[in-house]
Amino acid sequence: MLWRIVLENTIVGISYMRDRKLVWSNPRMAQIYGYEPGELDGQPVRILYASDHDYAEVGQMIAAKFNNHEFYTHERSQIRKDGEVIWCRISGRLLEPLGKASASVWVIQEITDKKRAEDQIRRINQRLEQTVARRTLNLSRKNAALREEIERRRAAQAASVESREKYQTLFRHVPLGLLVLDAGGEVVEVNRTLQQYLGVSTRSALAKALSDSSYVQLPDGGTTSLASLVREHRYVPTSADPLIFVWERSSRRRRVITMVATALAHGLGHAFVFTDVTEQRRRSERERVQEAALAHAGRLSLMGQMTSALAHELGQPLNVAQSYLAGVMRRLDADASPEIVQAMAKAAAHLEQAGAIIRNVRGFVSRQHYRPAQAVDLPELLNQTLTLLEHPLRSASTRVKTSIDDGLVPINGNAVEVQQVLVNLVMNAIEAMHGTPAAERWVEIRLAQEADAFASVTIADHGPGVPAELAPRLFDPYVTTKADGLGMGLMICRTIIESHGGALRLLNARRGAVFRFTLRQTK
291-300, 302-311, 359-368, 423-432: range with lowest mean pLDDT: 359-368
41-50, 174-183, 395-404, 486-495: range with lowest mean pLDDT: 486-495
Residues 296, 382 within the same domain: no
Q: Could you tell me if residue 187 is inside a domain?
A: yes
DSSP 184-201: TS-EEEE-HHHHHHHT--
Between 305 and 197, the higher pLDDT residue: 197
User: Which of 222, 245, 276 lies at the terminal end of a domain, its last residue?
Assistant: 276
Q: What is the pLDDT of residue 429?
A: 93
Domain range for 98: 2-163
Q: What mean pLDDT do residues 126-154 have?
A: 79
Q: Do residues 453 and 523 lie in contact, with contact meaning Cβ atoms separated by under 8 Å?
A: yes
Q: How confident is the model over 252-277, as pLDDT tens digits? A: 678 888 888 888 888 788 888 888 88
Cα end-to-end span (Å), the chain: 89
User: Which of 354, 369, 384 lies at the terminal end of a domain, its last residue?
Assistant: 369
Between 394 and 309, the higher pLDDT residue: 394
Neighbouring C-alpha atoms within 13 Å toward the C-beta of 505: 8
Q: Could you tell me if residue 169 is inside a domain?
A: no
Q: What is the pLDDT of residue 357?
A: 59
pLDDT grade, residue 300 (50/70/90)?
Answer: low
Residues 292, 219 within the same domain: no
Q: Could you give the number of structural domains in the chain?
A: 4
Q: What is the pLDDT of residue 21?
A: 92
Q: Could you tell me if residue 168 is inside a domain?
A: no
Residues 256, 387 within the same domain: no
Look at residue 304 and tell me whether its pLDDT is greater than 70: no
Residues 16, 146 within the same domain: yes
Strands (E), 58-153: 72-79, 85-94, 103-110
Residues 342, 383 within the same domain: no
Q: What mean pLDDT do residues 128-149 have?
A: 79
* CATH code for the domain in which residue 129 is found: 3.30.450.20
Per DSSP bridges, beta strands 177-182 and 269-276 are antiparallel
Average pLDDT in the chain = 82
pLDDT grade, residue 332 (50/70/90)?
Answer: confident
Look at residue 170 and tell me whether its pLDDT is greater than 80: no
pLDDT grade, residue 39 (50/70/90)?
Answer: very high
14-23, 147-156, 222-231: range with lowest mean pLDDT: 147-156
Look at residue 19 and tell me whether its pLDDT is greater than 90: no
Can you tell me the distance from the alpha carbon of 378 to that of 375, in angstroms, rounded to the nearest whole number? Answer: 9
Q: What is the pLDDT of residue 30?
A: 92
CA neighbor of 423 nearest in space, from 512, 377, 355, 363: 363
* CATH code for the domain in which residue 430 is found: 3.30.565.10
3-state SS class at 235: coil
Residues 384, 361 within the same domain: no
Q: What mean pLDDT do residues 428-456 have?
A: 92
- Beta-carbon contacts of 76 under 8 Å, excluding residues fewer than 6 positions away, are 49, 54, 58, 87, 88, 90
* CATH code for the domain in which residue 203 is found: 3.30.450
3-state SS class at 451: coil
Q: What mean pLDDT do residues 178-191 have?
A: 86
Q: Could you tell me if residue 290 is inside a domain?
A: yes
Neighbouring C-alpha atoms within 13 Å toward the C-beta of 325: 19
Q: What percent of the chain has pLDDT over 90?
A: 22
Q: How confident is the model over 386-420, as pLDDT tens digits? A: 987 888 999 999 999 999 998 898 999 988 889 88
Q: What is the pLDDT of residue 447?
A: 95
Q: What is the pLDDT of residue 351?
A: 74
Look at residue 279 and tell me whether its pLDDT is greater than 70: yes
pLDDT grade, residue 297 (50/70/90)?
Answer: low
pLDDT grade, residue 469 (50/70/90)?
Answer: confident
* CATH code for the domain in which residue 289 is found: 1.10.287.130
